[in-house]
Amino acid sequence: MISIEKSDGASEEEYDRRRRAQWLSGEARADGVARRDMLRLLAAAGAVSGIAGGASALGAPRAQAATGTAATATAAAAGIVKPLPADRFTIRGTNAETKFEALAGTPFHTPASHFFVRNHTATPSLDATTWRLRVWGDGLKDGKAHEFTLADLKRLPSTSRTAFVECAGNGRSFFTSQQGQSASGTAWTLGAIGNARWRGVRLSEVLRRAGVSRHAVDVMPRGLDAEYVTDDGTNLGKVRRPLPLAKALDDVILAYEMNGAPLPPDHGYPVRVLVPAWVGIASIKWVGDIEVSSKPLYSPWNTLFYRLFGEHYPPEGSAPLTHQTVKSAFELPWNAGIEAAATHHLTGRSWSATGAIARVDISTDGGTTWHRARLKDTPHRATWTRWTTPWHPRTPGPTTLLARATDTTGRTQPEATAHNAQGYLFDAVVRHAVTVV
């Protein structure tokens, strides 16, 4: 039997320290990336703390102007298959951000037509009839690779779960527009999140059938999309990120349905990993294989990226990011014009990875006075909760709307988020500018 260690924050950090030491002493592999490259890249990553656009020196996706205002989509995002109408999406390089105002009136589960897309390269075209999931590695009892077809996975007991997928960089542009700090990476506002009903098979079920040994410590799902080459020409290989076995056996799903339909191509067809509550990068799309290892595994996605670097963090960065944070957004365009002397029903959504939303406080006067919003959904962890609040503005002119969520663990959105070079996990209250007309 496998003993499942509960994945609380402290043991994850301890675990990471141990695996890091093993890696540095040559006991663990960083698959596909030479150790000296990794050391060089890590050194560069450590050096960027607080420097404007500094992370582009290590070949991170180049910093885009973080203006905090939604640019109008003029071109399609290369590599995304579904339509991206300009009233629903803002194109950011190979990615498409959902406009929060376009979610007004949409259901609790985000339709695929409105769900943000984060692609390192491009959506691949895969044939579900020839697709196979290969589970392999020295963490399996017999050491042999096991293959599963889509039909095999569908024959196993299925499970359904509602969870958001949210990019670790969601809200990144507010480090610049609200806090005057730079951060490298896609300049998302708040729309790098979607909430869906996922159906599939538990990863634990598949790992059990493949025969996980007592010595397994990490599993690394890998996507079938193209290899990711940074701006400076470093090929980081296929998108992949290790998960500690404890998390893999806990609540991770190999999803083949989204909102009751086969996964759309852009969201991982035919099968994606779904890691509830964790940073979006953990939820590998178009999964083709999963390595099960008796040694800690590394990839650029848990060493160079998706750690916190900068003045508040050690040179090698924080432990790899796991949980997302708490955020709120109004379903309104930036600088919306709002009619004076009429009653409006402001709507929005709040979400947390650590607990259910307990309350949402709203200010319509730039933070001077606050009142509670009415929650429209039964709050759950790792999903969002829609809310509404009436507003009867009297005086024309500019004002700032704020929404501040608190979850059942007592975690509240702060006024500011400690800076990190790559702009991850922004959780501060966003100041949403509107004009009463």
Residue ranges binding Mo ion (CB under 5 A): 118, 167, 280-281
- 223 binds ligand MTE per the rule CB under 6 A: yes
- 382 binds ligand MTE per the rule CB under 6 A: no
The strand pair at 133-136 and 287-293 is best described as parallel
**Minimum CB separation from ligand MTE for residue 404, in Å?**
24
At 75, the amino acid letter reads A
Q: Which pair of tokens denotes residue 85?
A: 């109408």
SS3 state at 425: coil
> What part of residues 256-275 is at the interface with ligand MTE (CB under 6 A)?
267
HSE-CB at 38 with a 13 A cutoff on CA atoms is 21
Of the candidate residues 88, 99, 118, 327, the single one contacting ligand MTE (CB under 6 A): 118
Cα 93 off chain centre by: 17
Token look-up 């339509």 returns 83
Of the candidate residues 245, 281, 360, 430, the single one contacting ligand MTE (CB under 6 A): 281
Indicate which of Mo ion, ligand MTE, none lies near residue 100 (CB less than 5 to 8 Å, by partner kind): none
Give the Cα separation of 269 and 257 in Å (integer).
9
Give the Cα separation of 277 and 147 in Å (integer).
28
- 280 binds ligand MTE per the rule CB under 6 A: yes
Of the candidate residues 88, 99, 120, 307, the single one contacting ligand MTE (CB under 6 A): 120
Cα 123 off chain centre by: 17
**Minimum CB separation from ligand MTE for residue 288, in Å?**
9
- 283 binds ligand MTE per the rule CB under 6 A: yes
**Minimum CB separation from ligand MTE for residue 188, in Å?**
10
Count of residues in contact with ligand MTE, rule CB under 6 A: 19
Measured at CB, which residue is nearest to ligand MTE?
A: 223
Judged by CB, which is closer to ligand MTE: 267, or 381? Answer: 267
- The string of DSSP letters for 305-358 reads SSS--STTS-TT-SSPP-B--EEEEESS-TTEEE-TTS-EEEEEEEEESSS-EE
**Minimum CB separation from ligand MTE for residue 95, in Å?**
8
- 119 binds ligand MTE per the rule CB under 6 A: yes
**Stretch in the footprint of ligand MTE (CB under 6 A) among 50-58, 141-149, 283-291, 359-367:** 283-291
Q: Which residues contact 3 (CB under 8 A, 6 or more apart)?
A: none
| Four-residue CA torsion sign, 346, 347, 348, 349 | positive
**Minimum CB separation from ligand MTE for residue 155, in Å?**
25
The strand pair at 287-293 and 218-223 is best described as antiparallel
Indicate which of Mo ion, ligand MTE, none lies near residue 137 (CB less than 5 to 8 Å, by partner kind): none
> What part of residues 135-174 is at the interface with ligand MTE (CB under 6 A)?
165, 167
HSE-CB at 141 with a 13 A cutoff on CA atoms is 10
Contact yes or no for 288/224 (Cβ under 8 A): yes
**Minimum CB separation from Mo ion for residue 76, in Å?**
20
Listed residue (340, 335, 403) closest to 367, CA to CA: 403
- 285 binds ligand MTE per the rule CB under 6 A: yes
Judged by CB, which is closer to ligand MTE: 19, or 241? Answer: 241
**Minimum CB separation from ligand MTE for residue 60, in Å?**
13
Judged by CB, which is closer to ligand MTE: 225, or 361? Answer: 225
Interior/surface letters 179-207, b for 16+ CB within 10 angstroms, e for the rest: bebbbbbbbbbbbbbbbbbbbbbbbbbbb
> What part of residues 344-363 is at the interface with ligand MTE (CB under 6 A)?
none
**Minimum CB separation from Mo ion for residue 285, in Å?**
11
**Minimum CB separation from ligand MTE for residue 209, in Å?**
23
Residues that bind ligand MTE (CB under 6 A): 115-120, 165, 167, 194, 223, 225, 239, 267, 280-281, 283-286
